[in-house]
């Protein structure tokens, strides 16, 4: 499936407007005689490719230092003006094209033009809307922080939560490249994958281009059963006193061990929340802390100052300072 073939590049004559002239065969325009401009070369469409048989590639064309005409690499003097070609620059190359194979859909080149246009249109519309949303969100945050103001708060209470997640061991069907399969996988089935191919068009700079087809073998895909710990439920204790003990919930596992349906303790989360009342509006706000000592240190009835967002009214808990 891998292979190489050489084709003619095409060029358009900028003097008489003749189109689709051959890069290798037509060194001069067959219509008006103007020399070929290598910068105007392009890859032909798929259905107009012309293969070059037994092409001897000797290198990129050389531009004549005197008249800029492109000459074959082996020429010593310019075919157009006769000047020596020594020191002439190499002809410019067109950018390489890579065309991946599409297994289930036609290649973009073969797809109808209108369809592509419509897709682009929808893409632009989605992009535009997305951009506007992003701008609106950024604008909101900027304004919110610019318009930040001080507000007074009074501590009205505390709440705490100690939660323990309980995970269940479950068998799940998964698939991945076989080399990435977990070692504990069971009941494995392997599936062969088709190789992925692409065609590369490489400008050779002498009026021809090389088409290289390259295929890469794909790794087999394995489908298997694998045991995973999955969070299923959680137990929690809550309270509102800062002086009473704050025990973690007692967790009863239905079946300990590592078996299908077995349970184990998962993530533990402690949340310490302060309830604050906005002195002017009377609205309640909350601040959460990870350090219980800090949380306890806020006395019920004490007064605090904090920054609040100009639009959202959200409290910046890091900015709490004592004071009326």
- The residue among 25 and 191 lying less far from Zn ion, judged by its C-beta, is 25
Rounded least distance, CB 40 to Zn ion, Å? 11
Going from the C-alpha of 288 to that of each of 127, 159, 316, the distances in angstroms are: 37, 9, 11
Q: Can you say whether residue 313 is alpha, beta or left, with left for phi > 0 and alpha for psi between -120 and 50 degrees?
A: left
The Cα 249–Cα 252 span in angstroms is 9
CB atoms under 10 Å from CB of 211, counted, come to 18
Rounded least distance, CB 199 to Zn ion, Å? 31
Tokens of residue 98, six digits: 């890579």
The DSSP 8-state label assigned to residue 213 in this structure reads E
- The residue among 66 and 93 lying less far from Zn ion, judged by its C-beta, is 66
Rounded least distance, CB 73 to Zn ion, Å? 15
Rounded least distance, CB 47 to Zn ion, Å? 24
The DSSP 8-state label assigned to residue 69 in this structure reads -
In this structure, are residues 58 and 91 in contact, taking their beta carbons and an 8 Å threshold? no
State the sign of the Cα–Cα–Cα–Cα dihedral 60, 63, 64, 65.
negative
In this structure, are residues 70 and 60 in contact, taking their beta carbons and an 8 Å threshold? no
- The residue among 36 and 168 lying less far from Zn ion, judged by its C-beta, is 36
Rounded least distance, CB 10 to Zn ion, Å? 14
CA 151 to chain CA mean position, Å: 42
Rounded least distance, CB 79 to Zn ion, Å? 8
Going from the C-alpha of 153 to that of each of 145, 214, 298, the distances in angstroms are: 19, 69, 12
Rounded least distance, CB 80 to Zn ion, Å? 4
- The residue among 19 and 233 lying less far from Zn ion, judged by its C-beta, is 19
- The residue among 32 and 51 lying less far from Zn ion, judged by its C-beta, is 32
| Residues at the contact surface with Zn ion, assessed by CB under 5 A | 13, 15-16, 18, 29, 31-32, 34, 64, 66-67, 69, 78, 80-81, 83
- The residue among 26 and 307 lying less far from Zn ion, judged by its C-beta, is 26
- The residue among 40 and 305 lying less far from Zn ion, judged by its C-beta, is 40
């Amino acid at each position: 499936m891998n292979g190489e073939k050489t084709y003619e590049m095409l060029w358009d004559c900028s003097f008489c407007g003749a189109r689709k002239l051959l890069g290798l065969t037509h060194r001069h325009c067959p219509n008006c005689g103007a020399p070929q401009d290598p910068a105007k070369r392009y890859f032909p469409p798929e259905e107009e490719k012309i293969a070059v048989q037994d092409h001897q590639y000797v290198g990129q064309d050389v531009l004549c230092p005197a008249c800029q005409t492109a000459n074959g690499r082996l020429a010593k003097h310019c075919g157009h003006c006769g000047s020596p070609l020594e020191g002439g620059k190499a002809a410019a190359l067109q950018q390489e094209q890579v065309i991946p194979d599409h297994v289930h859909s036609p290649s973009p080149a073969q797809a109808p033009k209108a369809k592509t246009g419509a897709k682009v249109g929808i893409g632009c519309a989605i992009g535009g809307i997305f951009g506007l949303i992003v701008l609106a969100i950024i604008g909101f945050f900027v304004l919110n922080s610019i318009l930040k103001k001080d507000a007074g708060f009074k501590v009205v209470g505390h709440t705490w939560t100690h939660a323990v997640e309980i995970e269940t061991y479950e068998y799940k069907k998964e698939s991945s490249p076989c080399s990435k399969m977990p070692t504990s996988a069971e009941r494995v089935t392997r599936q062969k994958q088709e190789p992925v191919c692409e065609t590369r068009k490489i400008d050779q700079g002498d009026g021809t281009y090389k088409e290289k087809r390259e295929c890469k073998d794909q790794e087999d895909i394995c489908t298997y059963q694998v045991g995973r710990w999955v969070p299923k439920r959680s137990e929690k204790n809550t309270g509102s006193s800062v002086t009473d003990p704050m025990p973690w919930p007692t967790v009863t596992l239905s079946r300990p061990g590592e078996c299908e349906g077995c349970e184990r303790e998962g993530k533990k989360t402690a949340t310490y929340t302060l309830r604050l009342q906005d002195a002017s509006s009377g609205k309640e706000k909350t601040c959460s802390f990870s350090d219980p000592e800090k949380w306890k240190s806020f006395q019920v009835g004490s007064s605090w100052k904090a920054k609040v967002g100009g639009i959202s009214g959200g409290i910046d808990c890091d900015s709490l300072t004592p004071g009326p």
